[in-house]
Amino acid sequence: MKKKIVTILLISSLALTACGSNNQVQSSSAPSTQTVEEADTQGTENDISELNAIGDIDVDKNLFDVTITVPADLVGDTTQEELDAKAADSDIHSITLNDDGSATYVMSKSQHKKMMQELADNINSTLSDMVGSEDYPNFTDIKANSDFTNFTVTTTSTELDLTDSISIMGFYMYGGMYAIFNGSDVGNIHVDFVNADSGEIINSADSSDMATDNTEKQ
Model confidence pLDDT, tens digit, residues 77-127 = 899 999 999 888 877 899 999 999 999 989 998 888 988 999 999 999 999
Cα 127–chain centre separation: 11
- Burial class, 159, CB count within 10 angstroms (exposed 0-12 / middle 13-18 / buried 19+): exposed
pLDDT exceeding 70 applies to what percent of the chain?
Answer: 68
Question: Of 16-25, 128-137, 189-198, where does mean pLDDT reach its minimum?
Answer: 16-25
pLDDT classification of 21: cutoffs 50, 70, 90: very low
Render pLDDT for 59-83 as a digit per residue (tens, 0 to 9): 767 668 999 888 887 788 899 999 9
Give the pLDDT score at 13.
Answer: 54
Q: To the nearest whole number, what is the mean pLDDT of the chain?
A: 77
Give the pLDDT score at 156.
Answer: 96
Are 47 and 1 a contacting pair, CB within 8 Å?
yes
Give the pLDDT score at 17.
Answer: 29
Are 140 and 131 a contacting pair, CB within 8 Å?
yes
Give 93 or 57, the one with higher predicted confidence: 93
pLDDT classification of 36: cutoffs 50, 70, 90: very low
pLDDT exceeding 90 applies to what percent of the chain?
Answer: 44
d(CA 163, CA 178): 23
Are 67 and 104 a contacting pair, CB within 8 Å?
yes
Phi and psi (nearest 5°) for 76?
Answer: 80, -170
> Is pLDDT at 130 greater than 80 in this prediction?
yes
Are 192 and 178 a contacting pair, CB within 8 Å?
no
pLDDT classification of 28: cutoffs 50, 70, 90: very low
Give the pLDDT score at 145.
Answer: 97
Give 52 or 206, the one with higher predicted confidence: 206
